[in-house]
Amino acid sequence: MSDELKNKAKRLGFYTVVARWGEYGNQPWLPTLLEEEEAERTRRSMDRRIKEAKLGQFKPMSDFDWKWPRKIDRELVDELFSLQFLDGANNVVLLGPNGNGKTMIAQNLGYQSLLAGHSVRFTKASELLDELSTADGAYARRRCLRKYSLVDLLIVDEVGYLSYDNRYADLLYEVITARYQNRSTIVTTNRPFQEWGAVFPNAACVVTLVDRLLHKAEIVTIEAESYRHREAKERAAEKEKQRKTKKKGNDKEEGK
The domain spans of the chain are 2-52, 61-225
Please tell me the predicted confidence (pLDDT) of residue 251. Answer: 64
How far apart are alpha carbons 204 and 126 in whole angstroms? 20
Please tell me the predicted confidence (pLDDT) of residue 199. Answer: 85
Average of per-residue pLDDT across 178-184: 94
Q: pLDDT class for 187, splitting at 50, 70, 90?
A: very high
pLDDT digits (tens, 9 = 90+) for 11-45: 999 999 999 999 999 999 999 999 999 999 988 88
Please tell me the predicted confidence (pLDDT) of residue 21. Answer: 94
In angstroms, how far is the first alpha carbon of the chain from the final one? Answer: 82
Please tell me the predicted confidence (pLDDT) of residue 165. Answer: 77
- Whether residue 238 has pLDDT greater than 70: no
Average of per-residue pLDDT across 80-98: 95
Q: How far is CA 195 from CA 24, 32, 56, 210, 211, in A?
A: 67, 59, 29, 11, 14
pLDDT digits (tens, 9 = 90+) for 108-148: 999 999 999 999 999 999 999 999 989 888 889 889 999 99
- CATH superfamily, region 61-225: P-loop containing nucleotide triphosphate hydrolases (3.40.50.300)
pLDDT digits (tens, 9 = 90+) for 37-52: 999 998 888 888 899 9
Please tell me the predicted confidence (pLDDT) of residue 230. Answer: 58
Please tell me the predicted confidence (pLDDT) of residue 254. Answer: 64
Please tell me the predicted confidence (pLDDT) of residue 1. Answer: 65
How far apart are alpha carbons 134 and 114 in whole angstroms? 29
pLDDT digits (tens, 9 = 90+) for 197-224: 888 887 788 889 999 999 999 999 999 8
Average of per-residue pLDDT across 66-70: 90
- Whether residue 95 has pLDDT greater than 70: yes
